[in-house]
Structure 1
Amino acid sequence: MAAANQIAGEFENWLNERLDSLEVDREVYGAYILGVLQEEENDEEQKDALRGILSAFLDEDSLEEVCQQILKQWAECGSRSAVKGTHGKSITQYMERAQRQPKDEKHNCQSVGEEMRDRD
């Protein structure tokens, strides 16, 4: 389990640094990207979902390059199952809890990200 935590931490650290270099909110977009990588069934679905997220702040020229960098780093840091075992359940639990809460009590993405970071 320690190795899986190290792999997850390694990818998240890399992703946070990459999002910072793009001057993007790592708490919001990092959680979305990590969720996509953990939850989508196949590579094509991951790629399509990543393109949708990245298109919010990247132009067409850099979109594909950054998408490929993220997918490559994800693959290099370990299999989806290794990371999902440590973090996928946490993200799903927080999102489900947020959906069950009344509208005025819902967590925003930033507070969910902070809660997850504090938990680790």
Structure 2
Amino acid sequence: MKILKIFIILFLATSFFELKSDEENDVLKNKILKNIRCLICQGQSVYDSESEFASSIKLIVDRKINEGLKEKQIYQFLREKYGNWVIFDPQLNKNTYVLWLLPLLLFLFGGAIMYKKTQKKNEK
């Protein structure tokens, strides 16, 4: 009887860990799909799209997650196959410095202009 109880506890414990793993995979899959651009539907993520391209990408991402690939490895695979444009959040590299630094520069430049304007008003 004790052996039966041990088997039942082990069965329940392993099924709980499998469910947790499936939930983690679904969360990771959704996170990745929301960050991939649908090449058919302009400006729409694969997660939101119903196109054939989006359906095939969903299957590819699901298969890659089941193969044990990490998020960065999946993004790298998709970049190699479809180019950097397929990812909504591009990496920081020599081709994207302007993309990442331009908002900061514009913010600093605008702040400097506002500071000068307030200084001129205070002087008058």
Whether the TM-score (by the shorter chain) exceeds 0.5 is: no
**Which has more helix, going by share of residues?**
1
Q: Which has the larger radius of gyration?
A: 2
Q: TM-score normalized by structure 2?
A: 0.31
Relative contact order, higher structure (CA 8 A, sep 6+): 1
TM-score, scaled to structure 1: 0.32
